[in-house]
Amino acid sequence: MRITRQRQAILDVLHETRNHPTVDWIFEQVRGRLPQVSLATVYRNLHQLTAAGMIQELSVGGGVCRFDADTSVHYHVRCLKCGRIDDLDLPTEEALMEAAHPRTPFRLLSHHVEFLGLCPKCDEAGHARTERK
Amino acid sequence: MRITRQRQAILDVLHETRNHPTVDWIFEQVRGRLPQVSLATVYRNLHQLTAAGMIQELSVGGGVCRFDADTSVHYHVRCLKCGRIDDLDLPTEEALMEAAHPRTPFRLLSHHVEFLGLCPKCDEAGHARTERK
DNA sequence: TTTGGTGCAAAGGCTTTGCAGAAAG
DNA sequence: CTTTCTGCAAAGCCTTTGCACCAAA
């Protein structure tokens, strides 16, 4: 795979955040560095980098695709209000896989845990609104 | 909320499966019973039933929306090849929430565990193809 | 009758693709 | 040079919405 300016910029953007951005956000960031970049290029590269194992596509709820420069197995928190997703540095629960194996005819390869809640900003906004009314 | 034939049919379909179907699949099933039903109606009702807490929308990866008549907290397995999703009757890990709380500034409300793997059919197909080549 | 629900078709997002020109190796 | 990548624009999903008609309660 060739190292083009576009590809490098995408990788840079991903490595500089921990929020697991959507394609749209990545596009905006890359555009700040390479103003003529196209959305199609961002999509194509994200998929190619994913296929090459250099980044991972997050298997999370909430609709749109999200990407992560950290390809290790780790868990996430998603804000139900603003959709932001952060890493959660929790030891990966091998016990979960062990417990799940006997319960399904599927051949299990991996797992992912997603916590749902409110990020500090959204949580505060909610309180504020409730208290003042 | 009124109990229309369409709404009842959608609920019936959901209660008769454990595969956590996509909107498209639900639509086909409902259409088998009410041939003139429209896709828009299926979408509208699925969201309304979700808002009413009578079904839940699954927070899983894989792109399209999926729905589940079981509104309790429980975990799932998804086949990486065919996308099928099944219930996994695993005791809900309260310990996970306990462990996660101190690690994030988010206010955690719930969590979901998704196991990824191959369903028996896809797994077998994969073996067969590999062995024969 | 009254209100909410339905079907249809059109519109909206997000994502993918075809193609000719550009650029990395 | 060759091959891959890019930008653009068009097309493709999946999902939502506006509107006039229909049907529960």
| The pLDDT of residue B25 is above 50 | yes
What average pLDDT does this structure show over A64-71?
A: 90
Residues of chain B with CATH 3.30.1490.190: 72-133
Class of domain A72-133: alpha beta
Go through chain A and tell me how many residues it has.
133
Query: Within 7 A of a protein CB, which nucleotides of strand C?
Result: 4-10, 14-18, 23-25
| The pLDDT of residue B16 is above 50 | yes
Start-to-end CA distance of chain B, whole Å, equals: 57
Q: Return the structure tokens found at A27.
A: 């596009």
| B1-69, CATH topology level | Arc Repressor Mutant, subunit A (1.10.10)
The verdict on a CB contact (< 8 Å) between B115 and A106 is yes
Kindly report the pTM of this predicted structure: 0.86
Transcribe A76-129 into DSSP letters.
Answer: EEEETTT--EEEE-----HHHHHHHGGG-SSEEEEEEEEEEEE-HHHHHHHHHH
Transcribe B76-132 into DSSP letters.
Answer: EEEETTT--EEEE-----HHHHHHHGGG-SSEEEEEEEEEEEE-HHHHHHHHHHHHH
- Which has the higher per-residue pLDDT, A5 or A85? A5
Q: Could you tell me if A59 lies within 8 Å of chain B, comparing CB atoms?
A: yes
Q: Could you tell me if B100 lies within 8 Å of chain A, comparing CB atoms?
A: yes
- Scanning residues 29 through 88 of protein chain A, those with a beta carbon under 7 Å from any atom of strand D turn out to be 34, 36-41, 44-45, 48
Q: Is the CB of B40 under 7 A from strand D?
A: yes
What's the pLDDT at A110?
Answer: 87
pLDDT tens digits for B73-120?
A: 889 988 877 888 888 878 878 888 888 999 999 999 888 888 988 888
What's the pLDDT at A41?
Answer: 98
Residues of chain A with CATH 1.10.10.10: 1-69
Most confident of A55-59, A101-105, B62-66, B88-92: A101-105
What's the pLDDT at A7?
Answer: 97
What's the pLDDT at A128?
Answer: 67
What's the pLDDT at B62?
Answer: 65
The verdict on a CB contact (< 8 Å) between A113 and B113 is yes
- Which has the higher per-residue pLDDT, A126 or B22? B22
A56 in Cβ contact with A35 (< 8 Å):
no
B67 in Cβ contact with B36 (< 8 Å):
no
| The pLDDT of residue A43 is above 80 | yes
